[in-house]
Chains A and B, each alone.
Chain A
Amino acid sequence: MTAEVQRLIEDAVINAVLKQALRSGADFAEIFVERNSTQTLNIEDGKLETISSGQDLGAGVRVISGGRTGYALTNVLTRQGLVEAAAAAAASSTGGNAKTAADLRKTESKVNHPVEEDPFAVSAATKAGWLWAANESARSRGNAIRQVLVGLAQQHQHVLIANSEGLLAEDDRTRVRFVIQVVAEANGDMQRAFDSLAATCGLELIRNNPPETLAARVADEAILKLSSIPCPAGEMPVVIGSRSAGVLFHEACGHPCEADGITRGTSVYVPLMGKKVAPDFVTIVDDATVKNAWGSFAFDDEGTPAQRTVVVENGVLSSYLVDRMQGQKLGRLSTGNGRRQSYEHIPIPRMTNTFLEPREADPLEIIKDTKGGIWVGKMAGGQVNPVTGDFVFGADEAFLIENGELTKPIRGATLIGDGPTVLSRIDVVGSDFFMGPGTCGKFGQFAHAGLGQPTLRVSKLTVGGTG
């Protein structure tokens, strides 16, 4: 198997599909074709259990008539199979005269995310060798290590998008992800540490960032957690380190800015466009053009070129994240945020790489300047209710701050609050920066998302803990 690029379907077939889709007078028709190849390898419990690989191939036809979307999908990619899907998608469009699709014009991408080493051109044995090395590296960190899981997942996704406005775009997305999870145990107490390395690129990600280095660090983290004390509960200052990777802002600011919540009137940000939502030194950006980042692409899943969108500029809410459908409702252009998990899903507004921009403060000084509170090194993920803005995040790695110093590791820390309040309480932003990979779920669809931030401090946040 290679990542060789072949046209998924011919122009003549695209034209036949769009013609069928517009037959009953719809305003807009689109076809999304996808070939997705994956391969995963996992070592757990000292065994490389199963190597799994395969190919998915399918297409979805979308027909928009007024505010109504019809969608039909198939994995029969013959002319007949696709035309039948088009007819099914158009079945709900209201009667009217057939419209004509514009002539197709191929759009070339201005950004690209280069792949140096095609993951599907390297043998499974070589990759297994990397995983075994990482497994050994983690296990060699101490007798307390009980379990190690290392995994490598690779994907090559080739998509073609064509629509009745004449758009024709293709995108090739190669993604590589390495994960490591370590369980350590002492005196019946078990602690777990986790990390991952992921990018929209080839195996150079692994060549340039040896997995055994990350594996050793995660193993050390798991061992350190064994000496952690229960986290104190209550309201306190929280310094959020850069490796927390912006999970908080993804949840608390990103999701409420997605345009579907705005058009439905369910987002806390509906009345706040152009208004102050954070201090002057807070700028939050969504940017799919960041080279090789986990949430990057050349075109979104509606064929809109990747772009950079400033969501909060110097504390002022400045843009929503918009796809075609919601853009039409809001009278705005798509910001290139129309994404879908696969051909089996309709596109919805989603974040790409979302990050809070760094400022001047020295991260070490931020800790020194904090009398008491906690420092969060890594987040375990979180959840937000986009209607209320209420969020909860688990802190995967955290320390107590006492008199400006990180003293003891703490366990079981949870951060809870609501998006607008936490943004307004950021009182200092550091000069460092880290962007990491995440998997974001919304309405049952998963998306690759980049998340980033500098070290920063929230002056007061509710911390849930057992201490």
Chain B
Amino acid sequence: MSESLDLAQTVLANARKTEHVEVFVQDASHTSIDVFGGETESLTSARTRGVGVRLISNGQMGYAYTAELSGESLRDVVEEARHNATASSPDDANVLPGPSRQENEVNVFDADAASVPVERKVEIALELEAAILKGSDQIRTLRNCSYRDRLAHFALASTSGIAAAWSQSNCSCFATAVAGEGQDSQTGFGLSNARHANRLDIDHTARTAVARSTRLVGAKKISTTKLPAVFDPQAAVALLGVLGIAASAEAVIKGRSLFAGKIGQRIGSDIVTIVDDGRVTDGLRTAPYDAEGVPTTRTLVVENGFLRSYLFDSRSGERMGASSTGNASRPSFKTPPGVAPSNFVLAPGQKSQEELITGIDNGFYVQELIGVHSGVNPVSGSFSVGATGLMISKGTFGQPVREVTIASTVFDLLSGVVEIGSDFTLVPGFLVEGAYGSPSLVIGEIAVAGT
């Protein structure tokens, strides 16, 4: 059925009787197009393949990978994993999952996606650039404008009986618009994702990038104050990334999660519900199986403000006496699986973003957060991050704002959520694995530091 699965089985044949071995094969083709000034700036086409081997012997685990797929390298990679196991700590939790008997009907591969001609992909990027340039007189240029796709085939075979193969297609177009007047320049980002290039929403991506950059032109610092805030979905997802890391059972076990010991406790206001869903139809990280061949699931992480569950792979499940939630993840065949969110989503509410803003007399619309990866303490949850956005005055957007910081803690922020929008954005994590989705959030009060 699958060339990759055959390869995985071939490598697995090198396992010895007493060993537990898992072989992961990745075979991915991708296209990457960058345009500038109406021309193709670069066009990359690629196919890369590789094999990763996890081997457990006497409770000790080793990992090895290779991108060289000759017969000799395929034997060597198992031997290398075997050697690596010998110096590691024995651990009863080092187990490989068994096969699932469930039907698995998640399909995230559009076979037609492979037949889109490269000329059409170039056109998409050029159309996006053109749409942004004519979107407003204030648009000066673009920082980047790109098309990307990736068609990947995965296979996993193990001595515990898993033999699974699945495929994934992802296409995206994205751009950063630069708008300005005089010395002042501001940026705005837009992104569209789909399984097939023809379903990318170019117009919406352009409108988003144009609106986000132009409305910031003339941004100034404001003086230090406390006021209600609306977090735009692109800003809210940056903070969800912090929660996604904290929800990992591996982080909890290792004492580096702000959710440790908090199952069943209130961590947010009663309208906050967060779900990790590895099977949702349009998810960026949707797949039938996780990175160790366990079927993906939907996990309720936060329910009406109460922490309900962590995210588990087999090993962390074994340690905490829970079942895997199908959250084993690996960026590529070069790394052993760890725990990461799939599509980690804060559930939308009823009101449109406009309605949320209309209700605010004097507030701060947070369009973008910067420095989240360095500004949030992932252990304590306290943060101080940079923000860009707009003042909200009598229910409408007012003076644009830059170079201010927002300081709070993750728990204060979640407890301060008073309203949730019906709008929704799902994006790939920035410097974290997983995809993160959020609507607009209204926070009762935040501290903004400026001049």
Q: Which residues of A contact B (CB under 8 A)?
A: 38, 41, 44-58, 66-75, 88-89, 91-92, 123-125, 128, 146-147, 149, 183, 185, 189-192, 231, 233-235, 261, 264-266, 268, 344, 346, 379-388, 390-394, 411-414, 416-418, 441, 443, 462-466
Contact = CB atoms under 8 A, between A and B. Distances in A.
A416 B43 contact: no
A464 B405 contact: yes
A72 B44 contact: yes
Contacts of A382: 371, 374
Q: Report the 10 A-B pairs with minimum CB-CB distance, sorted nearest first.
A: A464-B405, A392-B371, A392-B386, A54-B65, A381-B374, A233-B449, A394-B374, A414-B384, A51-B84, A69-B42
Nearest to B63: A52
B385 A412 contact: no
16 contacts: A54-B52, A54-B66, A55-B68, A56-B67, A67-B39, A68-B43, A190-B380, A264-B36, A266-B185, A391-B370, A392-B374, A394-B374, A416-B404, A462-B404, A464-B407, A466-B407
Given A124-B86, A233-B449, A382-B371, A462 B405 contact: yes
Given A147-B255, A147-B256, A191-B380, A266 B88 contact: no
A52 B409 CA distance: 36
B450 interface: yes
B371 A383 contact: yes
Given A51-B84, A392-B386, 18 more contacts: A47-B88, A57-B68, A70-B44, A71-B43, A71-B44, A71-B45, A74-B47, A74-B48, A125-B87, A233-B405, A233-B447, A344-B48, A390-B403, A393-B371, A411-B382, A414-B375, A416-B404, A464-B404
A92 B43 contact: yes
B408 A466 contact: yes
A75 B49 contact: yes
Contacts of B143: 261, 264, 266, 386-387
A451 to B, nearest CB: 14
B80 interface: yes
Interface in B30-79: 36, 39-50, 52, 54, 61-69, 73, 77
Contacts, number: 257
A266 B141 contact: yes
A90 B61 CA distance: 45
Contact of B84 (A53, A73, A183): A53
B254 interface: yes
Given A45-B253, A50-B84, A67-B41, A388 B186 contact: yes
B85 interface: yes
Nearest to B386: A392
A364 B68 CA distance: 55
Report the interface size class on chain B. 35 or more
Given A75-B67, A390-B370, A413 B384 contact: yes
Given A56-B334, A412-B383, A443-B144, A49 B43 contact: no
B41 to A, nearest CB: 7
B267 to A, nearest CB: 14
A48 B336 contact: no
B83 interface: yes
Contact of B449 (A49, A391, A465): A465
B382 A412 contact: yes
